[in-house]
Amino acid sequence: MPEIRVPRRRRFLVCEPRHFAVQYAINPWMDPDVRVDVALAQQQWRTLIRAYEDHGHTVDTVPPVPGLPDMVFAANSAVVVDGRVFGSLFHAPERRPESGYYDTWFKAAGFDVYRPENVCEGEGDLVPTGRYVLAGTGFRTTREAHREVQEFLGVPVISLTLVDPYFYHLDTALFVLDEENIAYYPDAFSPGSREVLARLYPDAVLGTREDAMAFGLNSVSDGHHVFISPRAEGLAAQLADRGYLPVPVDLSEFHKAGGGIKCCTQEIREIRS
């Protein structure tokens, strides 16, 4: 029988896609000539927020800003561990103004924000697992930023090298299932990084390229429910066999910009009492 999984309530930070568009190309998914249906994107985004709230999670919202179409991808804004906020310094000049607006929100909410000296794209490349922060590099976040993260958060940082430009952020190729396990797409990583992941997580759920291209590895788990792309059917079946409950949410409009469920979701990990 599948193991019994226990959900944990989460606090998420999101940004409405009121100004979402593909106006430039900074990853292989983006084509400015492809039209974005903003009304559909807003509908899909609202469905995701309702799914979170229906499963007991708290959702806070950062106001969207005109001229910043990728601000909807809240995960890239920071990484928050035990109430400490490590902010972002985007690789692409087009996205750099986003950081200030997110910093303002965090400060107004009572958090201190650390400004990184090196290129770092928040939870896009920094994935807290409980024991470690798994940290991606190769396309966006630099290894120098990994060292900054470890010094600021005081949590061991495991550097992982991404090798496929379609999976330019760690959160497009890996997500945390619970405090003991992860799911990931092995071929997104260098050989050495695959060995590291296999040693750390011998029982991990392994996705296929088909799962990954469907943004199935860009998912959010509360330890039981996994909010996942409906097109990642093989991965969803594996998760169900392990005792997780897939919650399909279609964010296909956001795939046009290289983003999905996790990209739209920043988790605020406050100090546990």
Residue 67 CB: number of other CB atoms within 10 A? Answer: 10
Separation between Cα atoms, residue 78 and residue 86, nearest integer Å: 5
Instruction: Give the residue-averaged pLDDT of 202-230.
Output: 98
In this structure, is the dihedral angle defined by the CA atoms of residues 266, 267, 271 and 273, taken in order, positive or negative?
positive
Mean of the per-residue pLDDT values for the chain? 97
pTM: 0.97
Task: Report yes or no on 5 lying in a domain.
Answer: no
pLDDT at position 273 over 60: no
Of 169, 225, 255, 264, catalytic: 169
State residue 55's pLDDT score.
98
First to last CA, the chain: 33
% of the chain residues with pLDDT over 70: 99
Q: What is the domain-level CATH number for residue 28?
A: 3.75.10.10
Q: Is there a domain that residue 103 lies in? A: yes
Residue 37 sits in which domain range?
A: 11-268
Q: Which tens digit of pLDDT belongs to each residue from 75-118?
A: 999 999 999 999 999 999 999 999 999 999 999 999 999 999 99
Q: What integer pLDDT is reported at residue 272 of this predicted model?
A: 66
**pLDDT for 131-145, tens place per residue?**
999 999 999 999 999
Residue 127 confidence (pLDDT): 98
Q: Which amino acid is at 65?
A: V
Q: Are 113 and 106 in contact (CB under 8 A)?
A: yes
Tell me how far apart the alpha carbons of residues 69 and 65 are, in angstroms, rounded to a whole number. 8
- Within the chain, strands assigned E span 11-15, 58-62, 78-81, 84-87, 113-114, 126-128, 133-137, 157-161, 174-176, 182-184, 205-206, 220-221, 225-228, 245-248, 266-267
Is residue 169 part of the annotated active site? The answer reads: yes
- Residue 4 inside a domain? The answer is no
Which is the catalytic residue, given 15, 120, 263, 264? Answer: 263
* Residue 167, in any domain of the structure: yes
57 is an active site residue: no
Structural domain includes residue 212? yes
Q: How many domains does the chain have?
A: 1
Average of per-residue pLDDT across 190-213:
98
